[in-house]
Structure 1
Amino acid sequence: MAKRSNKGIYYALVIHILWWGCLLWALQLDFNLANPWIYVAFLLQTHLYTGLFITAHDAMHGTVSKNRKLNKAVGAISALLFSFNFYNRLNKKHHEHHRFVATDKDPDYHHGSFWPWYFSFLKQYISIWQILLMAISYNLLKLFIPWKNLVFLWMAPAVLSTFQLFYFGTYQPHKGEHSAANEQKSTSQSLNHWKAFFTCYFFGYHYEHHISPGTPWWKLPKLKEKIAGEGYPG
């Protein structure tokens, strides 16, 4: 397990600053489908939403800060910014995933094809309170901000980010059968750090995360290089 430090705070701060900066910029853009910046803002905001969730996730493993209260506070704020997710609820389910990986008790796992699994995944993590809070926020914000900007540059990137997190961080690593020697029931994305970062902040290196959940996202590449050289159990 990686040694805990406070370096995660700086990574979390960068992600939060970029998320807010991109959002404030995107919301004041002239929403015109001929405007290329609309698409740039959409993709950036999607990637930064994923970064918020990854930050909350790292907090669940205590890797954002050695200070427990600060670690939890950063995790809770990150989760709330991601469409009003609640940190304690996410934390409980995520640790169940690690404890019961790829079993019927694993909230992230589903015996079935891609789309049924995706909707099962969403049902585990979307609550009525999130929907209500998003609806209230949207109706208040549209008094000051054009609805198209809110829907396509604030809400839609969050939805696409759930797809990104699911596909690269849950479905791809855990689908199919795994050998008895693979206790983590996980596979790992091929060694390509650029691809791994832009797809899911290195969480495609999922086997590595499962064998060392105390390794923060930004240290997974080194762990990947080490394990790739040693070989995988299958």
Structure 2
Amino acid sequence: MKQLYFLCILLGTVVQSCGQVKTDENQTIASSYGYVLTERQFDTYLKFLEQQTGEESTLDTQIALKAQLKEAFLSNPETIAQELATLENMLGAPKIDKDDKTLFSMAEGHKIVRDLLGSDIGEMQFDTDAANSFRNYMTNTVLTTSSNNYNTSYNSSDYSSSQGQIQFCANGTFVEVLSGHLSIDTEGMDATSSGSSAMPGYWEAAALPNGMFIIIMYSTHARMLEDSPNGILPFVVAKHGIDFVQLPSGDLYRRTPNQYCN
């Protein structure tokens, strides 16, 4: 509890009377290496500080406290997650087993995927430094792939394009959106069609012994079940960089980081 008690001593003197602003307790404040800091955990921390000082906090104080807690979390997510779990137990929140990492520090979507896999993980490594680093790399990221085709002949032409985007959220959920466009121009007739569909689900990431990584996506959406009857799609990543992800087949996805989910 050293860091949290330090913040309490440092900031307790500025806590003054005013009501606390209520927010969605499941909203994510920050995520790092598979650990998630939520509004519920901040509320627990704030309640602890207010109990120590005997006063309620102002809105300005809450903003400052949240910023400092976020900074402490990002510098040492595992320790802060453990300390917040201890605070929740102290303050009467549902009990959390400190020795069970998955109960208090893992994003809900990641936990769902791991529970689904159980012991059937083969050589996948979930808790190594490499896996944690890659999971952090994928969090709040959008991967995009696209293609187009144009054909022309005497008195006719056609054009088609498609795009796929997958957004990986900090809470362990994802949304894949597929969109397409088709236009046909022939003598005396023009036709255009376009549309899109979205598939939600859960994701988790792991390292492989050969140096590659894998994203495990799970969804009960009809589109997923059509190709994967168990709802699980392994997405193997051979190479990745600041702005790209490459599959073993050589197919490339454009990566856009810092795309935060609502």
TM-score (norm 2): 0.22
More helix by share: 1
The higher radius of gyration belongs to 2
TM-score (norm 1): 0.24
Larger RCO (CA within 8 A; separation ≥ 6): 1
